[in-house]
Amino acid sequence: MEINVITLFPDFFTSALHASLLGRALKKQIATVNLINPRDFTTDKHRTVDDVPYGGGVGMVLKPEPIFAAVESVPNMAPREVIMLTPQGQRMDQNLFKDLSTNYRQLILICGHYEGIDERVQHLVTREVSLGDFVLTGGEIPALTLMDGVIRLLPGTVGKKASLEQDSFEDGLLDYPHYTRPPVFRGWEVPEVLRSGNHGAIAHWRHQQQLEATRKKRPDLLPEGEIDHGQ
Ligand code: 4G0
């Protein structure tokens, strides 16, 4: 998959993209990321990317020309999606990551800034996506979040396919508790069942723990039929 990020702050991405699992995936060419700065597509002496809003008001608005030029500098590789990160977008979730990772060859992520982007940029956009119901200084953190979520689903990024299947959310439930050695730490014991070697009992215990954690912390994730109001 090819991911192109349109951003006034390309440096923001460099260390995150080199670290950890993401860095390894890019090195293995599971995905390629191009950072594209609209400022490089300006034609005036001051390399202007923003201007005052028509109709007045505070703050600046990103001009359409540098963003169109940046997006149009990317050779089209269908199927592709042009995604703008804004607070008005569809909330990102695991289903979106799965859709993007399986159905597209190319993504273009447009990171907005300031008070907003000229509305005519919408003519480039096929989807608006949001990280959540809050406002940030720019779309860079939402874009990085989306890239992390999508790239880790591409074949070869995460070691075992099984490890993805075990993900929290893969079955719509929260994760079960994990333990490693030592068997007793500061008096807190690893649950006996996990050391029993009884794989059936372990699978049952983990599923019960998932249901219990989901009921307690995120009951909204449970389908109506599975809501157990407990005691
Ligand atoms: C475009 C995304 C970009 C418009 C971007 C702000 C939060 C998110 C930006 C605006 C962002 C998110 C209209 C405020 C940049 N903040 N929740 N800031 N407006 O995903």
- For residue range 74-93, list pLDDT tens digits in order: 999 999 999 999 999 999 99
Residue 163, in any domain of the structure: no
Q: Are 176 and 138 members of one domain?
A: no
Residue 198, in any domain of the structure: yes
Q: Are 139 and 204 members of one domain?
A: no
DSSP string computed for 102-144: HH-SEEEEEE-BTTEE-GGGGGT-SEEEESSSS--SBSHHHHH
Residue 159, in any domain of the structure: no
Residue 189, in any domain of the structure: yes
Q: Whose Cα sits closest to atom 2 in ligand 1?
A: 86
In terms of pLDDT, which residue wins out, 83 or 230? 83
| Catalytic choice (87, 99, 118, 148) | 87
What is the number of structural domains in the chain? 2
- Whose CA is closest to 157, among 24, 16, 63? 24
Q: Are 137 and 172 members of one domain?
A: no
The per-residue pLDDT for 229 is 58
Instruction: Give the pLDDT band (50/70/90) at residue 213.
Output: very high
- Domain membership of residue 118 as a residue range: 2-151
Q: Is the pLDDT of residue 225 over 70?
A: no
Q: Does the active-site annotation cover 167?
A: yes
pLDDT above 70: percentage of residues in the chain = 95
Q: Is the pLDDT of residue 117 over 70?
A: yes
> Which of 151, 176, 208 delimits the end of a domain?
151
Type of residue numbered 229: H
Q: Are 147 and 173 members of one domain?
A: no
Residue 162, in any domain of the structure: no
> Which of 120, 151, 182 delimits the end of a domain?
151
Q: Are 117 and 175 members of one domain?
A: no
Q: Is 84 exposed, middle or buried (0-12, 13-18, 19+ CB in 10 A)?
A: buried
| Catalytic choice (115, 118, 128, 175) | 115
**Does the CB atom of residue 135 touch ligand 1 within 6 A?**
yes
Q: Are 144 and 189 members of one domain?
A: no
75 and 99 Cβ atoms separated by less than 8 Å: no
DSSP-assigned letter for residue 10: T
Task: Report strand pairing: 32-36 vs 2-6.
Answer: parallel
Give Rg (Cα) of the chain. Answer: 22
Distance (angstroms) between ligand 1 centre and the Cα of 88 equals 7
Q: Name the pTM for this structure.
A: 0.94
- CATH number, position 85: 3.40.1280.10
Token pair 């979520």 is found at: 149
Residue 181: count other Cβ atoms within 10 Å of its Cβ.
Answer: 7
Q: Are 138 and 192 members of one domain?
A: no
Instruction: Give the pLDDT band (50/70/90) at residue 227.
Output: low
Residue 183, in any domain of the structure: yes
8 and 60 Cβ atoms separated by less than 8 Å: no
> Which of 151, 183, 202 delimits the end of a domain?
151
Residue 158, in any domain of the structure: no
Q: Are 183 and 97 members of one domain?
A: no
- CATH number, position 177: 1.10.1270.20
113: β partners: 138
Residue 157, in any domain of the structure: no
Q: How far is CA 26 from the centre of its chain?
A: 16
